[in-house]
A = this chain, B = another copy of it.
Amino acid sequence: MTQLNTAALIKQLIADIQAGALTDAHHKLPAEPELMAHYQVTRYTLRQALQSLSKMGYTYQAHGVGTFVRPQQADSIALAHHGGLTAEMARLGSKLTTTKAQAAPTTRAQADFQPSETTLAPDDPLIAVTRLRAKDGQPYLMEQSYYRQTIIKTIPEAALYGSLFNYCEAQRDIRIGWIDQVIMSEPLPQVAAEYLNLPVGAPCLVVQDETYLSTGELLAFSKQYYDYRQAKFFMVKKVH
């Protein structure tokens, strides 16, 4: 075990928990001093990792009692997940694939919806990306996104069918800082209805998000229409 940082410790803890190597009969983890010694990290690093695990629903910590692993939330997407949606679906044991994708140049003024940030010029060049994505072969979501062409330059065909998130992160000079997400419900629009095999106007779970660089500059904005019968989002709210 050599010099774990927080990210590595999180992975290691998840692996060790899933292997059942850490918990006793009551799903209780060793106390923090023991874990610190075992993984050779200080309390700060350990607790950063345990906080991540709590937010993802893996564990909870009871003051004065101990740290316990929880039954896994099996069918919901954790809003606190790391990495892209594809990776999160993999955690749930499902495979997310892109069945159809197309990209075309456009401008902000011509987009189907607008970002909340109003500082973009109407003729700001965008790359419009429409994708149909399936979960284990079943239609799952339709995604309409707009990438700022001044930042991302071009999106190769291969990236469209893989993880656009990973593609962006791999670019030089592009470091994603955070993503704003607005979760809502809307009547299903026609394009999405056809793909999801649902009537127009049926319930639809919608996520509208805006991706910002670590400098605070807007990189992209998008809207995802999920099949309401399949998609659920999960989060843990700590109370203090």
Contact = CB atoms under 8 A, between A and B. Distances in A.
B60 A216 contact: yes
A181 interface: yes
A176 B76 CA distance: 23
Nearest to A119: B71
Interface stretch (A29-37, A140-148, A183-191): A183-191
A179 interface: yes
A234 B204 contact: no
Q: How large is the interface on A (under 10, 10 to 19, 20 to 34, 35 or more residues)?
A: 35 or more
B57 A214 contact: no
Interface string A199-227: 00011111000001011100000000010
A214 B63 contact: yes
A177 interface: yes
A71 B237 contact: no
A182 interface: yes
B62 A177 contact: yes
A7 to B, nearest CB: 8
Chain A interface, >50% SS class? strand
Highest count of chain B CB atoms <10 Å: which of A62, A180, A184? A184
A117 B177 CA distance: 36
A237 B234 CA distance: 14
A6 to B, nearest CB: 9
A214 B68 CA distance: 12
11 contacts: A57-B180, A60-B216, A73-B182, A76-B182, A79-B183, A178-B238, A181-B235, A182-B233, A184-B233, A186-B203, A188-B203
Given A178-B238, A181-B237, 13 more contacts: A62-B214, A178-B236, A179-B237, A179-B239, A181-B234, A183-B205, A183-B235, A184-B228, A184-B232, A184-B233, A185-B226, A202-B203, A203-B203
